[in-house]
Structure 1
Amino acid sequence: MRYFFEEYAFDTDRRELHRGTNLVSITPQVFDLLDYLIRNRERVVTKDDLISVVWNGRIVSDTALTTRLNAARAAIGDGGDKQRLIRTLPRKGFRFIGSVQEVQRPVVPPPADVWVERSSDTVPTPASPPRLSIVVLPFANLSGDPEQDYFVDGVTESLTTDLSRIAGAFVIGRSTAFSFKGKAVDVREIGRELNVRYVLEGSVQRGGNRFRLNAQLTDTQTRIHLWAERFDKPAADLLDMQDEIVSRLANTLNAELINAEARRAERSHRPDAMDLYFQGRVFLNKGVTPAFLARAKDFFVRGLALDPDNIEAAVAAAQVDVSMGSSFMTDDGSVHFKAAESALNSVLLRAPNHPRAHMLLGAVQIRTSRAAKGIAECHLALALDRNLADAHGFIGLGKYALERGDEVEGHVQDALRLSPRDTRAFLWFMFVGMAKLMTKADLGALDWLRRSIEANPNHALSHFHFAGALAMMGNLKEARSSAEAGLALDRSFTIRRYRINVFRFDNPEWMARLEQLYEGMRTAGIPEGQ
């Protein structure tokens, strides 16, 4: 069954919510809650009704129920104050009051297998699986407690939804994946049957107050395990833990799948636009250096030459410009910011709900004296993709630009909660380090800047900041060593270039700290420039 209201399509067969052509990521409990409210829109639904149906009668706190209702409202653009679609009736319950059109999905026979004919003979062979195609098999419940099934299945369903947001991904739907629940499977056979390149499997075990989740990604053609992860932590609120675990897995898998597809693309004699995109993303993830960014940009430009309408390549190319401007790799960073903003606005005309495009536009606005507007763009990006950890990092940068240094660390911690091993974490650490430097929390600044370099030593600006901060605090030997490491990555960097392109603050104390940083950089051996 499909229900249409405003610009949304709610598909109960596929368990999907769409806003226009864009898939909206929601957890299974939020989907079930919306499903029940929409199906029962002719009456007021009580709290007990929701708990009975959505949570199977389990004890649920008022806070947990409110959290899921707020998430349901957010998913359909219905603020808690306006309540256009979901109305709360005090002491009575809740009712879906939106105008709904109900459409029965026609019964369609399953599609025939796709075959290609080899030129040397007429023996049919299956078509090769689509790139970045994956099935999330139902995770196994090893707890021996059937009551845990709802949580285990919820992880599987949420991952299926969230992985479908990865650019270029083809994800097998929930209903098909759950047909394998409880069955012994061979990943190669699964790959052939579903025509997918990757299988994600996992298990969940709860013992006492501890909780453990294991997951592994396997190549269906080679049976090689490409990646594995384990979560082992205290069992708190399982629903909140589910959201955190799914976000962490989705962010990690995004990077791992891109790496796997790039390795395949390297072996292709005739790469297409998406092959080139994946290869460029690998260099973008390696670090912010002139060499890596140049390689990445080359792949994206070649991809766009093959397919000018490739949205992902256009967004990634814009990201290169944002990185070039933000890392002071040229004397006039505004040229790169203008190029990025123009490209991103063009993308958003064609794909108005592209999360990364909104996030990167926000980053440009933050770096060009429009921090409040940029923060709002990043919040919009998070509304479109709750797993977009980098958006939290840029919000932290925006707070730094607004001289609200004490708030920066909190936003970076939000980013780390979603993606603790993110390839971009080194930037987030640098944001906190600089915020602490400006607020004279010197030891904290050194700690965060050191973490930035440890997370990714291929970022020249982190070395320069660290060198300047060390010299400010009298550690000249380590300061000079860090300056040398930064200059080995970017020989063209000068204090003059940094001064021209850095944030301008209204706070005299912050501007005075910047002058101290410039002097520290000079002492560390970073050239002044002309």
Structure 2
Amino acid sequence: MAEDSRRKLAAIVVADVAGYSRLMGEDDAGTLASLRAHRAELVDPLVAAHGGRTVKTMGDGLLMEFPSVVDAVNCALAIQHGMAERNSNLASPNAIRFRIGIHLGDVIVEGDDIFGDGVNIASRIEALAVAGGIALSDDAYRQVRDRSDVAWADGGEHALKNIARPVTIWRWSVGEDRTPSPGPKKPAAEKPPPDRASIAVLPFDNMSGDPEQAYFADGITEDIITELSKVSGLTVIARNSTFVYKAKAARIQDVAADLGVAHVVEGSVRKAGSKVRITAQLIDGATGGHLWAERYDRELADIFAVQDDVTGKIVEALSKSLIAPGPTPAPRHEPAVPEAYDCVLRGREQYRLFTPEGNRAADGLYSRAIALDPAYAAGYAGLAMVRMHDWFAGEPDALDKAYELAQKASELDPALPLVHEALGNIRLFRREYEEATASIERWIELEPGSADAYANLAGLLHFTGEPEKVAPLIDKATGLNPFFPFYYTLYCGQAYLMMGRYDEALEALRRAATRNEDALPAQLYLAACHGLRGEDKPAQDALARVFRLHPGFSVKWLKTYFPYRREEDTARLLAGLEVAGFSA
């Protein structure tokens, strides 16, 4: 570090103008004059009044710092309310609206400037705020949650570019609340208690002494989640929300509150050769008290019996007063060779890397599972998904091979949810729309607590011409998966675009692209959405990113891999891309 540099803790505020490129394209001189006036008459006086300073301006953006998060938030609220008043007589497309992000973090001070992760996080968070709104990091939120009349909405966890750990954000926008009270501040309204028939299964600890065995503990955890998700009336938090807590020391009551559940399962796995030791505990999320605990010392061949017993004991403990009797899930088909199950777990881990290398490794592992046990449906279903990704990578015959494998898996075990996940996705790209829908709906019947099943149905219905059904399904999915992946938001953006609701589409697509800038569909639909809104420059920028991600992008490629049932949907997408500069 330079000699004149020092570190300090600060509340960092980043603001920029929503739709700045469009505003400048329509009236650059007027936009600059308005922005200068807003700063001189509103923003700068408020920053000074709240004890902050403007570090620098960056085109349409501002970087500010405050010694207190409370002062930073109060200043941001005052700015957004002031901007709403100043814009009240303007047509919405002509109004200047700020997005503001706030983070409490460590910064490096050099002269009058500040740098470091604290600034980077605030900048990334700002992009997740809505126009006219504010987004806080969890670190900032903890400083103000009991010191403000504002009701902050939980915006979920986000993976931010170049930031090592995911960041939880909290959102507010003008019109949502903030009625100042002249009397003593009322206590914040308590969150409603969670549904008692709700549960989260934390990643089981790998106690094998070998980090390479982590896949096995993860696989056991995921299979228990899947089995619990089959129980009607039980809300089960999805894998990628509970796996946020992997290898982290977390207080059970905090985990339960974060995930909105009444009960938590935790445990451990020790695997040595053909021997397995599994411990599992069911814990009350409010008190941290144990409701049930068990330890199993078994042979690897008995692993399914252990999982079924764990699931059964949990359901038994909850069903006495919480879960109404429902249909008994179909029994699982166990592999004849225990090693085949091990190969499937390792194949699943490799497949989820979503890389060419991971796909090749998964291919070998799933193929090995089938060779060991030709009647093991999970091996065929997993290999079917690998073949579908081979098709995405440009192998023209791979989709037919994927379909054959999925059909074989269905013959062997029609009650396996993965079978219907594979069949539904493959049938969509084969343009077998009714059959694809039936497969995903069957997946939901078999696993009614699966967030991914509802999200898959949402994505499918967007392509089959029913975009109005997408948002309710994504709401259901996010309820089961609070730390949901970026594509949940992407599906909403795609659906809004096909419904002609371009403002809502743009907000959703921006959030999806911010969380995963290398996701080709997010950039593609962003380009089309900006084009349909008549925003040439942002549309062209997004299309340039599309070609950087996929230099061979073409109309033929789009029509192959974007299986719209209605011609008008494909035409709408292409119309937006044409404004961005794309030609057939």
TM-score (norm 1): 0.46
For CA contacts below 8 A with separation 6 or more, give which structure has more relative contact order: 2
For normalisation by structure 2, the TM-score amounts to 0.42
